[in-house]
Amino acid sequence: MCPAPCESACVLSINDQPVTIKAIEKEIIDHGWEHGWVTPLRPSVHTGKRVGRGGLGPAGMAAAQQLTRAGHDVVVYERDDRPGGLVRYGIPDFKMTRPSGPPGRPDAGRGHGLRVRRRRRRRPVR
């Protein structure tokens, strides 16, 4: 998602290649996922409070993850047919290169204890 404007502004490019921090960070986290080093942080204490959060976009998932880590029982409601929020539906394809396959870790939030409810398609009333 990050366009990495810091890479083109890197002062190392005066004499050498700039630091490709975006590629480095992506490689680190992909390596961690492949080797099972990334694990969910479960809360040590459950508050017993229930929270409903709207949206499976980046902001909705981050908020739900933090609420879960605080010990709340979180349900995320999604109205669209796929997760992604504004990243998926608000940015035109010509402005952002998208992977051709399925999204990267769609079930990662469930490891934290998040529950997801999608909009049900309703039959037309006759």
Look up the domain containing 7 and give its range: 1-38
Query: Residue 118: what pLDDT?
Result: 77
The answer on 105 and 89 residing in a single domain is yes
CATH of the domain at 47: 3.50.50.60
As a whole number, mean pLDDT of residues 28-44 equals 86
Answer yes or no: do 27 and 82 share one domain.
no
Could you tell me if 31 and 45 lie in one domain? no
Give, for 25, the enclosing helix (H) or strand (E). helix 21-34
Task: Indicate if 24 and 47 belong to the same structural domain.
Answer: no
- Specify whether 3 is located in the same domain as 62: no
125 or 117, greater pLDDT: 117
Whether 20 shows a pLDDT value over 90: the answer reads: no
**Same domain flag for 74 and 98:** yes
Output the pLDDT for position 95: 73
- Whether the per-residue pLDDT at 44 is higher than 60: the answer is yes
State the total domains in the chain: 2
The Cα–Cα gap between 45 and 49 comes to 11
pTM to 2 decimal places:
0.62
Whether residues 54 and 24 fall in one domain = no
Q: Residue 60 carries which DSSP code?
A: H
pLDDT of residue 31: 92
Same domain? 26 vs 86: no
Give the 3-state secondary structure of residue 103: coil
Beta carbons within 8 Å of 25's beta carbon, 6+ residues apart: none
Could you tell me which residue, 73 or 82, shows the higher pLDDT? 73
DSSP-derived secondary structure letter, 102: S
Q: How many Cα atoms within 13 Å fall on the side-chain side of residue 97?
A: 2
Task: State whether 119 and 63 are in the same domain.
Answer: yes
For the chain, the 3-state helix, strand and coil shares in percent, each to the nearest 5, are 40, 10, 50
Whether residue 27 is found in the same domain as residue 59: no
